[in-house]
A = this chain, B = another copy of it.
């Protein structure tokens, strides 16, 4: 599997999983309807616990990025992803805020900061370019 976990990181394992799965969807390495490994097999692959994987899946299911069929495992949401609603825009602003503040203090202009944001977005998308 293409997933990697950093056990030394200060960001929780289940958050790393959530982030990487969203990145996978964003870059179209994971397409709507694609099956995901079972909680047990992915946990075994990564050398972590079943519940840690399940927690990540639950969050993504709750947010509408994944679907569970009870029938055959977990799949990437086939029926259209959730949109950029008010709740998300608020969450987004809240997340960007401390980054923008520190960037400003360190001398980055609004344009530099915006370009940096765009660059990260761009780089993220380009990871799916050579997907088979």
Contacts and interface: CB of A to CB of B under 8 A. Distances in A.
A1 interface: no
A98 B60 CA distance: 13
Interface residues of A, number: 44
Contact of A26 (B22, B105, B111): B105
Interface of A: 19, 22-23, 25-26, 65, 81-85, 88-89, 92-93, 95-108, 110-122, 124-125
A97 B92 CA distance: 12
B96 A116 contact: yes
B19 A97 contact: yes
Contacts of A111: 118
Given A22-B101, A96-B96, A96-B117, A110 B122 contact: yes
